[in-house]
Amino acid sequence: IAALCSAVPDPRYREYLIKKERSQQTGGRVVLSEAELQFNVLLDKLKLQEMETSDFPPAMHFFKAKPLIDRSKLFSLLQKMPKGGALHVHDFALVDVSWLVKNVTYRPHCYVCFTDSSSVRFVFSLHQPKTSPQCSKWMLLETLRAKVDNTTDLDNSFIRNLTLYTYDPEVAYPSQDVVWKRFEEAFIAVWGLVTHAPVFKDYFYEGLKQFNADNVMYLELRALLPQTYELDGNINNRFWTMRAYQEVLKEFVGKHPDFFGSRVIFTAHRGINASELTDILKEAIKLQEEFPEIMAGFDLVGREDTGRPLWYFSKALSQPAEHGLSLPYFFHAGETDFQGTDVDQNMLDALLLNTSRIGHGFALVHHPTTKALSRQMGVAVEVCPISNQVLKLVSDLRNHPAAMLMSEGHPLVISSDDPALFGASGLSYDFYEAFVGIAGLKSDVGTLKELAVNSIRYSSLSPQQKEEALSIWQKKWERFVVENLPQ
Amino acid sequence: IAALCSAVPDPRYREYLIKKERSQQTGGRVVLSEAELQFNVLLDKLKLQEMETSDFPPAMHFFKAKPLIDRSKLFSLLQKMPKGGALHVHDFALVDVSWLVKNVTYRPHCYVCFTDSSSVRFVFSLHQPKTSPQCSKWMLLETLRAKVDNTTDLDNSFIRNLTLYTYDPEVAYPSQDVVWKRFEEAFIAVWGLVTHAPVFKDYFYEGLKQFNADNVMYLELRALLPQTYELDGNINNRFWTMRAYQEVLKEFVGKHPDFFGSRVIFTAHRGINASELTDILKEAIKLQEEFPEIMAGFDLVGREDTGRPLWYFSKALSQPAEHGLSLPYFFHAGETDFQGTDVDQNMLDALLLNTSRIGHGFALVHHPTTKALSRQMGVAVEVCPISNQVLKLVSDLRNHPAAMLMSEGHPLVISSDDPALFGASGLSYDFYEAFVGIAGLKSDVGTLKELAVNSIRYSSLSPQQKEEALSIWQKKWERFVVENLPQ
Ligand SMILES: [Zn+2]
Ligand SMILES: [Zn+2]
């Protein structure tokens, strides 16, 4: 403080404070190799280019920013970068919806109906299905396509129904209520396709393919584990679903030995009541016992602001641990910007219920005590920038609260939540927003490295698996750096 | 941490953490009287009402929120509340512009011209003024008004030119560049009116009246101290301007003995270079010596993102202290959401230059080291919510970084920056946004009390004056609480 009292600021003291601040940031203490330092020169240059355009993509809505990001050199570098794992992605928002429309809806026996709210429903069936309420008569898509002049227009209208993309999102989605309604609508529209048993397996395979292509080597999936249906009307239960994940993963890893794996976090909708949750938790524990390799734990999903607070479920959620049963939690918490409500307490309650990570934790910075606890417990926050923007928690991503978390070096990972619904894919778009928009100009190759390493460090993998995954990642990383040194 | 390891969360430990967090917030440790606790019941009820509407005003742009706020019971309570001082308000954005149009432009000898960019300029003159570049011929307003069919339309068009108000701000102001251009344009439009010597005095008097009516008892004015002009073309210098402030204030306080006073922070535009600043600082020191009562210190104004960083001026700004001369600083700093730029360093540099307060400090939460230094030095942040929203630093005010500062009990005051330009007035609108949008549902009467007390504690007043002001405020406050107890 002595230096502060002198009249002229001491440039060395200033330098010391700036360095101290940098060292506290995410990636600020990563020791860089000679090659990484060289690579960083390129990275710095490319990031400055992004900031010097008049349309700074992270300041814009993702739907408008995406074409700019697609043209960005920094983005294509981030696509090539080995990003480690994606720890917060939902089961039915993994795959670019055009794959669903162009591939899945062209399969035989696919029926469609159009709802009164101008959305669509799909179902696979051997016979004409029974008409659903608020929906037109079911039409066999093959027949419909033969009748319409322009199947491309029809397919595009399906694609519009299955994502939130729209030309003018600020006008189309004036409030969180409106955008969440649309979000849930899109989720229901996709349902009849992805819960058809053969499609379910193909969908997961395709998802692994797309994340792998985006240089993600590991995936933790928030999965509803729904019943799936066969063409003959047979219904498969949750154990079938879990086995399906296991088999598909085995097949994929067989063909892509570089891909490390995937684990499942079983999720229930927070619309249920406490006694329903108690039943689901019993099933979750059975699944955990039967599929210890692939099952990572449990979570509650759905919009927090309109749902029951976590504390309402605290008794039910305490039961497994009380009975000495292991069921790790990975709670969504703090996906809100209302401060001081019961729901805003979810982050604290998630920690008190021994959560392994916090999904979103958007509101964590409003709670210094909870934030300190999360750090002390080593509980990482899963930051999903594009999701938070599209669902209207924040508009300019430079204001995303993860900027504060990163400036303090809080444990966190970057993930993509529901890339397919947002018109994104894989993990690179969110890495772009995080690196360019949230982490600030002084973030560097160390930041990227720490984010990738965090995604393995804070995963649900065992210590041995983490070590193995890290050493695979390290090799990929070194190759990536060397291949992208500035000329 | 032991409590964390048990299976069932301990509700008492939870309660303890929640209370601990509350106690750290702004106002969390204020001891409340019986009457204040009763009053708080009303406050709580009114705040819940605000949150339960589908259109939550702090989530909307102020231009759209204002009609809702005007109808809010909580707002009319905040208007009546003794708010202490307004410490960050600019000289020519004090007074509702309709006063300028309805009163000032109706005075004799007022000329207008219309610029090529469809703005206006005004000047008072005994003779036809020389035509300005990029502007129409000057027209005597009296003559023009006699010619047009509808003087109300004309007046409204003037009002539109003098504020940033527009029906659809998101469309009209797509970027910070656009809104800042419009902001500067409005400032220039007002210039010819308010720098006319008699208007200058009346304007300040009217400003004091409007803030006093809004239950603000003290004002610190960021003032450019421009030359003013008389009708005969005579020019008055800065000393005249300073004396004018002193005289008007004396007159106002004579008629409103409850009003505590006003002080001036001399401001220069950051567009100048270092040697120009050196000259201005010499003048500032002379003014400080001649007007110690009313002169509080010095500041640099204008958009930071496009201006020179504070560090560029550090030598010049160190000179007064080096020569043992007293010139307190009140720097605007951190009015940016670009992270890691030179400008983003302004907050640290303001502190190193011994600033007394930080104007805006919007980006402070991105800098934990600087934030800690500001707290350690007892340097308060001047938070201006509506200004930050209109100038597009943040859209939903629940995401305003002051929410984090308040959750940590960081020293801060609420101010209104340029209320007239934003279509606001006084301080109450910003208090509403801060209390309802930023401070969260758990903030209470203690929060309001601490914010009001802070505005005196962190003012430039002497310790004795602060004590005196606080005791006047305390009496006003007690009366306010008693008069507004729930029935
Ligand atoms: Zn999610
Ligand atoms: Zn200002």
Q: Which amino acid is at B10?
A: D
As a whole number of angstroms, the distance between CA A196 and CA A231 comes to: 8
Residue with tokens 């417990």: A377
Cβ-defined contact of A4 to B352 (cutoff 8 Å): yes
pLDDT tens-digit map of A408-457: 999 999 999 999 999 999 999 999 999 999 999 999 999 999 999 999 99
Q: What DSSP element (H or E) covers A237? A: none
As a whole number of angstroms, the distance between CA B85 and CA B335 comes to: 22
How far apart are the two ends of chain A, measured CA to CA in Å? 46
Mean pLDDT of the residues in chain B: 95
Number of residues that this document lists for chain A: 487
pLDDT tens-digit map of B431-469: 999 999 999 999 999 999 999 999 999 999 999 999 999
Closest ligand to residue A383's CA: 1
Chain B: closest CA distance from residue A246 (Å): 30
The per-residue pLDDT for A4 is: 47
Alpha-helix runs per DSSP H in B256-367: 274-290, 314-322, 346-352
The per-residue pLDDT for A28 is: 95
- How many angstroms separate the most distant Cα atoms in chain B? 86
Find the catalytic residue in B220, B304, B335, B433. Answer: B335
**From the CA atom positions of chain B, what is the Rg in Å?**
23
As a whole number of angstroms, the distance between CA B78 and CA B44 comes to: 13
State in Å: Cα B88 to ligand 2 middle. Answer: 6
The per-residue pLDDT for A52 is: 84
pLDDT interval class at B487 (50, 70, 90): confident
> What average pLDDT does the segment B321-342 reach?
93
pLDDT tens-digit map of B53-103: 878 999 999 999 999 999 999 999 999 999 999 999 999 999 999 999 999
Residue with tokens 């703090």: A334
State in Å: Cα A359 to ligand 1 middle. Answer: 7
Mean pLDDT of the residues in chain A: 95
The per-residue pLDDT for A8 is: 77
pLDDT tens-digit map of B413-428: 999 999 999 999 999 9
The better pLDDT of the pair A75, B487 is held by A75
For chain A, percent of residues with pLDDT exceeding 90: 92
As a whole number of angstroms, the distance between CA A265 and CA A225 comes to: 9
**Cα angle A456, A461, A466; round to 5:** 50
Cβ-defined contact of B318 to A398 (cutoff 8 Å): no
The per-residue pLDDT for B51 is: 87
Residue A184 pLDDT more than 50?
A: yes
The residues that bridge with B333 in the sheet, in sequence order, are: B360
pLDDT tens-digit map of B172-213: 998 999 999 999 999 999 999 999 999 999 999 999 999 999
Q: Which of B10, B20, B21, B323 to mutate to test the interface with A (most CBs of A within 10 A)?
A: B21
State in Å: Cα A381 to ligand 1 middle. Answer: 12
Token pair for B258:
């409850």
Q: Which of A17, A305, A393 to mutate to test the interface with B (most CBs of B within 10 A)?
A: A17
The per-residue pLDDT for B54 is: 79
Closest ligand to residue A303's CA: 1
Pairing of strands A228-229, A235-236: antiparallel
pLDDT tens-digit map of B242-286: 999 999 999 999 999 999 999 999 999 999 999 999 999 999 999
Q: Which amino acid is at A86?
A: A
Q: What is the ipTM of this complex?
A: 0.94
As a whole number of angstroms, the distance between CA A386 and CA A434 comes to: 9
Residue B4 pLDDT more than 70?
A: no
For chain A, percent of residues with pLDDT exceeding 70: 99
Residues of A in contact with B306 (CB under 8 A): none
Residue A7 pLDDT more than 90?
A: no
pLDDT tens-digit map of A104-125: 999 999 999 999 988 999 999 9
State in Å: Cα A299 to ligand 1 middle. Answer: 10
Token pair for B204:
């300040």
The better pLDDT of the pair A55, B227 is held by B227
For the whole model, what pTM was predicted? Answer: 0.95
Residue with tokens 């967090």: B21
B196 counts as catalytic = no
Find the catalytic residue in B360, B367, B400, B410. Answer: B360
Residue A43 pLDDT more than 90?
A: yes
Contacts of B160 (CB under 8 A, 6+ apart): B166
pLDDT interval class at B35 (50, 70, 90): very high
B247 counts as catalytic = no
The residues that bridge with B360 in the sheet, in sequence order, are: B333
Residue A134 DSSP symbol: T
For chain B, percent of residues with pLDDT exceeding 90: 92
Alpha-helix runs per DSSP H in A382-424: 385-390, 402-407
Residues of B in contact with A367 (CB under 8 A): 21, 407
Chain A: closest CA distance from residue B413 (Å): 18
